[in-house]
């Protein structure tokens, strides 16, 4: 599938190769991997995927597609304490929804536990690994600092047979958690802390979602990750910058084990303004009920974005648009919202909806009469044609579209003024009706019967056009207006003694009533609409035929497009 399905004008042009594409091009040219390109996306199933993961998926899978290669989905399931089948299932669903098909290439690091164990024995036999009895605290205390060497463990020089025996007894469950670990024997005075005899295996007496009770020792991420890449013949192992300092260790394992040399390339992880991307913190929001679940439409998770009304194309477009960087930076969330608008503009069906209704009576329109007017379904897809919208003597307009005492720049309805009702007639406000407290309850207007499409004055110009719906045909719906979940650009910037949750936006969800015209009730969840002049909306899975629920994806105001136009 093509990455970039709805590029605007400027994106259509070929962009130059990013630094990863340059490396791969050079590797192909110098025949490093026999021309082969094979990438993978390696999530740990300890949470739902978020927009940062989407970036990694699009990057890894996009590279494979670009270079006619293959990509794997691999679950890095080496920690039984945090991993759950629910997460495995959700990850597969989300990757598929993004539009990627790993075919039969679905793997689990846990499938490699036997090989990893044999390879650990191989390292023991080469005197490159040893069983250590120090506690986690002691190991960390003896590791030294970047400027001061670490101390060698007193167990470092155990002989091969003793190590093999202890390691196998670790596996058999003879020891308690924390009693022993297996460590690589590298260099306690290396300037790279990751080379100071890192732990390869620890004892965890816990069942695993796939291997059950078979194991009570589990490989660390650092020992399992690179080896899993090698086993799968991954040519280019793309990961985020924090793993750059781990690369010498991964290369050391490859050399000592004499296995396939996957090449690790690091890029800067995606950070988004007004958004947190830590799975741990997202989990906290879910557990503590700050959001309704992983799929709350305010969450930066893929499932949340989907429910919010994002399309896979908009997310892939965003991922491509932000490119790959070598240095950490923060992307403006307005660009993500812009990506949604770009795609929804092409896809969303137009309807008129009124969120804050003001009744308007057209006094010269015959009582008991109604008619239909033709409304465009989507101006970007003229082939879809038009939809019939009922019009009658009593309509609702948006309260904000009327001002009793309009300022200079307000061109919409006011006493004595004319506006066009979209797809219908020009009306003139004759009278404002108020209740005893002075609140406006109704407008009385007259219409000009010759201004409808097809009639002589159809093209008569007025300063403004507003949307409306016919009151007898109005159907009440629930509308969920979402705003950013955090008030601060950097949610982690919380000040002394407070954390990211103190920056939660108390008004990130407003539930209100809205009115749509009858005729679009046969909704399916995720159906997408543009409420004309208001924003993009998506039918929520909570919708019932008698009570449709719409989520606002984004408003129509494009802060990102504006800010780039101004530059
Ligand atoms: P954890 O702290 O649990 O490891 P993680 O976000 O790194 O969290 P993984 O499941 O290990 O989660 O991530 C899978 C892949 O997605 C990794 O290759 C990781 O580098 C990449 N990834 C994670 N977050 C981002 C991000 N914000 N931007 C780009 N890639 C990301
Ligand atoms: Mg990770």
- pLDDT bin (cut points 50, 70, 90) of residue 216 is very high
Question: What span, in angstroms and rounded, lies between the C-alpha atoms of 480 and 259?
Answer: 54
Question: What span, in angstroms and rounded, lies between the C-alpha atoms of 540 and 524?
Answer: 8
Does position 4 have pLDDT exceeding 80, yes or no?
no
- pLDDT bin (cut points 50, 70, 90) of residue 15 is confident
Question: SS3 for 59?
Answer: helix
Ligand 1, residues at Cβ distance < 6 Å: 42-44, 46, 52-53, 55-56, 239-240, 269-270, 277, 279
pLDDT value, residue 546: 85
Does position 395 have pLDDT exceeding 50, yes or no?
yes
pLDDT value, residue 3: 42
Q: Could you read off the pLDDT of 443-461 as tens digits, one per residue? A: 999 999 999 998 999 999 9
**Burial tier of 550 (Cβ tally within 10 Å: 0-12, 13-18, 19+):** buried
Does position 6 have pLDDT exceeding 60, yes or no?
no
- Which of 41, 56, 333 has most ligand 1 atoms within 8 Å of its beta carbon, as the pocket-test mutant? 56
Question: What span, in angstroms and rounded, lies between the C-alpha atoms of 351 and 479?
Answer: 14
Does position 12 have pLDDT exceeding 60, yes or no?
no
Closest CA to 1 of 57, 48, 41: 57
| Residue whose CA lies nearest to ligand 1 atom number 29 | 269
| Residue whose CA lies nearest to ligand 1 atom number 27 | 52
Determine whether 118 is an active site residue.
no
- pLDDT bin (cut points 50, 70, 90) of residue 519 is low
Question: What span, in angstroms and rounded, lies between the C-alpha atoms of 98 and 2?
Answer: 12
pLDDT value, residue 27: 96
Asked if 348 and 528 count as a contact pair (C-beta separation under 8 A), the reply is yes
Q: Tell me, in angstroms, the distance from the centre of ligand 2 to residue 238's CA.
A: 12
Locate the ligand 1 atom nearest the alpha carbon of residue 60 and give its number: 18
DSSP conformation class of 269: P
Active-site annotation holder among 143, 269, 347, 422: 269
Three-state secondary structure readout of 509-552: EEEEEEEEECCCCCCCCCCEEEECCCEEEEECCCCECCECEEEE
Question: SS3 for 201?
Answer: strand
Phi/psi at 291 (nearest 5 deg)?
Answer: -135, 170
Question: SS3 for 137?
Answer: helix
Q: Tell me, in angstroms, the distance from the centre of ligand 2 to residue 98's CA.
A: 20
Strands annotated E in 204-307: 217-219, 236-240, 263-267
For range 129-147, the mean pLDDT:
96
Closest listed ligand to the CA of 280: 1
| Residue whose CA lies nearest to ligand 1 atom number 13 | 43
DSSP conformation class of 46: S
Locate the ligand 1 atom nearest the alpha carbon of residue 278 and give its number: 6
Q: 362-369 — which CB contacts under 8 Å span 24+ positions?
A: 362/393, 362/394, 362/395, 362/427, 362/445, 362/446, 362/447, 363/430, 363/444, 363/445, 363/446, 364/446, 364/447, 365/392, 365/393, 365/447, 366/393, 367/393, 369/393
Does position 503 have pLDDT exceeding 70, yes or no?
yes
Question: What span, in angstroms and rounded, lies between the C-alpha atoms of 366 and 446?
Answer: 11
- Which of 20, 40, 43, 324 has most ligand 1 atoms within 8 Å of its beta carbon, as the pocket-test mutant? 43
Chain-wide mean pLDDT for the chain?
Answer: 94
Q: 408-416 — which CB contacts under 8 Å span 24+ positions?
A: 411/463, 411/464, 412/464, 412/466, 413/443, 413/464, 413/466
- pLDDT bin (cut points 50, 70, 90) of residue 1 is very low
Asked if 292 and 87 count as a contact pair (C-beta separation under 8 A), the reply is no
More confident residue, 523 or 229: 229
Locate the ligand 1 atom nearest the alpha carbon of residue 277 and give its number: 27
| Residue whose CA lies nearest to ligand 1 atom number 10 | 43
Q: Tell me, in angstroms, the distance from the centre of ligand 2 to residue 43's CA.
A: 7
Determine whether 44 is an active site residue.
yes
Closest CA to 381 of 12, 9, 98, 6: 6
- Which of 45, 108, 221, 269 has most ligand 1 atoms within 8 Å of its beta carbon, as the pocket-test mutant? 269
More confident residue, 15 or 286: 286
- pLDDT bin (cut points 50, 70, 90) of residue 565 is low
- pLDDT bin (cut points 50, 70, 90) of residue 396 is very high
Q: Tell me, in angstroms, the distance from the centre of ligand 2 to residue 301's CA.
A: 16
- The residue behind tokens 């005197």 is 127
pLDDT value, residue 522: 66
Half-sphere exposure in the Cβ direction for 71 (13 Å, CA): 24
Q: Tell me, in angstroms, the distance from the centre of ligand 1 to residue 165's CA.
A: 36
Does position 2 have pLDDT exceeding 50, yes or no?
no
For range 294-317, the mean pLDDT:
98
- pLDDT bin (cut points 50, 70, 90) of residue 561 is confident
Question: What span, in angstroms and rounded, lies between the C-alpha atoms of 3 and 100?
Answer: 10
Closest CA to 290 of 279, 281, 278: 281
Q: Tell me, in angstroms, the distance from the centre of ligand 2 to residue 116's CA.
A: 19
Domains of the chain, first to last? 35-267 (3.40.50.620), 279-349+477-561 (2.40.240.10), 353-467 (2.40.240.10)
Containing 555, the helix (H) or strand (E) segment is: strand 549-555
Provide the percentage of residues in the chain whose pLDDT is more than 70.
96
Residues contacting 128, CB < 8 A, separation 6+: 184, 185, 186, 256
Provide the percentage of residues in the chain whose pLDDT is more than 90.
91
Tell which phi-psi region holds residue 385, choosing left (phi > 0), alpha (psi between -120 and 50) or beta.
Answer: left
For range 183-201, the mean pLDDT:
97
Does position 562 have pLDDT exceeding 90, yes or no?
no
Q: Could you read off the pLDDT of 75-99 as tens digits, one per residue? A: 999 999 988 899 999 999 999 999 9
Could you tell me how far CA 54 lies from the centroid of its own chain?
Answer: 6
| Residue whose CA lies nearest to ligand 1 atom number 18 | 239
Containing 169, the helix (H) or strand (E) segment is: helix 160-171
Question: What span, in angstroms and rounded, lies between the C-alpha atoms of 323 and 455?
Answer: 52
Determine whether 279 is an active site residue.
yes
Locate the ligand 1 atom nearest the alpha carbon of residue 43 and give its number: 10
Closest CA to 396 of 468, 327, 337: 468
pLDDT value, residue 550: 96
Does position 9 have pLDDT exceeding 50, yes or no?
no
CB atoms within 10 A of CB 212: 9
Q: Could you read off the pLDDT of 340-385 as tens digits, one per residue? A: 999 999 999 999 999 999 999 999 999 989 999 999 999 999 999 9
- The residue behind tokens 């469950």 is 173
Active-site annotation holder among 55, 183, 279, 528: 279
Q: Could you read off the pLDDT of 230-262 as tens digits, one per residue? A: 999 999 999 999 999 999 999 999 999 999 999
CA distances from residue 276 to 114, 285, 286, 486, 500 in whole angstroms, order as listed:
37, 10, 13, 9, 9
For range 166-189, the mean pLDDT:
98
For range 137-157, the mean pLDDT:
96
Q: Tell me, in angstroms, the distance from the centre of ligand 1 to residue 269's CA.
A: 8
């Amino acid at each position: 599938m093509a990455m970039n399905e709805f590029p605007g004008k400027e994106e259509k042009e070929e962009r130059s190769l990013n630094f990863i594409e340059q490396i791969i091009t050079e590797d192909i040219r110098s025949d490093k991997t026999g021309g082969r390109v094979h990438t993978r996306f390696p999530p740990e199933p300890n949470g739902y995927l978020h927009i940062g993961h989407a970036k990694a998926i699009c990057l890894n899978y996009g590279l494979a597609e670009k270079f006619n290669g293959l990509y794997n989905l691999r679950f890095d399931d080496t920690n039984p304490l945090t991993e759950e089948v629910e997460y495995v299932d959700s990850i597969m669903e989300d990757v598929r929804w993004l539009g990627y098909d790993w075919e039969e290439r679905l793997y689990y690091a846990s499938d490699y536990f036997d090989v990893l164990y044999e390879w650990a024995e191989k390292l023991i036999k080469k005197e490159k690994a040893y069983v250590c009895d120090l506690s986690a605290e002691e190991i960390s205390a003896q590791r030294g600092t970047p400027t001061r060497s670490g101390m060698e463990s007193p167990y470092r020089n155990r002989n091969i047979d003793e190590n093999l025996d202890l390691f196998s007894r670790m596996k058999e469950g003879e020891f308690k958690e924390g009693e022993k670990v297996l460590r690589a024997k590298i260099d306690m005075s290396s300037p790279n802390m990751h080379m100071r005899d890192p732990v390869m295996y620890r004892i965890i007496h816990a069942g695993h979602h796939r291997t059950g009770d078979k194991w009570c020792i589990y490989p660390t991420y650092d020992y399992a990750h690179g080896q899993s890449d090698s086993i799968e013949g991954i040519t280019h192992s793309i990961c985020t910058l924090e793993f750059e300092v781990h690369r010498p260790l991964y290369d050391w394992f490859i050399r000592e084990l004499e296995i396939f040399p996957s090449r690790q390339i690091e890029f800067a992880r995606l950070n988004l303004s007004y958004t947190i991307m830590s799975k741990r913190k997202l989990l906290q929001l879910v557990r503590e009920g700050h959001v309704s679940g992983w799929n709350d439409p305010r969450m930066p998770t893929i499932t949340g974005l989907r429910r919010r009304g994002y399309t896979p194309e908009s997310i892939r477009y965003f991922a491509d648009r932000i490119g790959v960087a070598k240095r950490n930076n923060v992307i403006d969330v307005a660009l993500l919202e812009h990506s949604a608008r770009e795609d929804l503009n092409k896809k969303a069906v137009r309807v008129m909806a009124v969120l804050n209704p003001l009744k308007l009576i057209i006094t010269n329109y015959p009582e008991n009469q109604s008619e239909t007017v033709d409304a465009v379904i989507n101006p970007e897809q003229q082939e879809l044609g038009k939809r019939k919208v009922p019009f009658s003597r009593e309509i609702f307009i948006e309260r904000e579209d009327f001002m009793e005492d309009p300022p200079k720049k307000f061109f919409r309805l006011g006493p004595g003024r004319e506006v066009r009702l979209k797809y219908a007639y020009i009306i003139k406000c004759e009278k404002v009706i108020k209740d005893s407290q002075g609140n406006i309850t109704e407008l009385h207007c007259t219409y000009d019967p010759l201004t409808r499409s097809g009639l002589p004055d159809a093209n008569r110009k007025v300063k403004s056009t507003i949307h409306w719906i016919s009151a007898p045909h109005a159907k009440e719906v629930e509308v969920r207006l979402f705003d950013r979940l955090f008030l601060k650009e950097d949610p982690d910037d919380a000040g002394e003694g407070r954390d990211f949750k103190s920056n939660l936006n108390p008004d990130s969800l407003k539930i209100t009533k809205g009115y749509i015209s009858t005729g679009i009730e046969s909704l399916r969840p995720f159906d997408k609409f543009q409420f004309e002049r208001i924003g993009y909306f998506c039918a929520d899975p909570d919708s019932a035929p008698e009570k449709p629920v719409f989520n606002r994806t984004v408003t129509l105001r494009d802060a990102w497009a504006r800010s780039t136009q101004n530059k």
